[in-house]
Amino acid sequence: MAALASAVMIKEEFRKLAFYAMRQVVARIKQIEIELTAVGMAAKHGDITIAEAIREFEEIVPGCLPAAYQSMFEEEERTVASALQREAA
């Protein structure tokens, strides 16, 4: 009987740890959302460029942006940089 009670206690402790781990994951996802929103707002207000925002997104959530978007934004960044260089010359 003691072994059964011990097994039940272990199972309950495991459940508590599992739920704690799940809460930690949810908290991290909420933090990621806050970070991404801040980056988006900074880009929207012109505090950072779109290319910088994309790089930040990739640092925060690697691989979540489709490669096609990344290459499109990188091309746009090169075009803008080239135009700025011509304008400065």
Q: What does the pLDDT look like over 22-46, one tens digit per residue? A: 999 999 999 999 999 999 999 999 9
- At 66, phi and psi to the nearest 5? -60, 145
Six-digit token string for 62: 């690697």
Mean pLDDT, rounded, of the chain: 85
pTM across the whole model: 0.66
Mean pLDDT of 10-23: 90
The parent domain of residue 33 ranges over 2-88
Q: From residue 69, how far is each of 4, 35, 50, 66, 87 by CA, in Å?
A: 56, 20, 12, 6, 27
DSSP string, 53-83: HHHHHHHHSTT-S-HHHHHHHHHHHHHHHHH
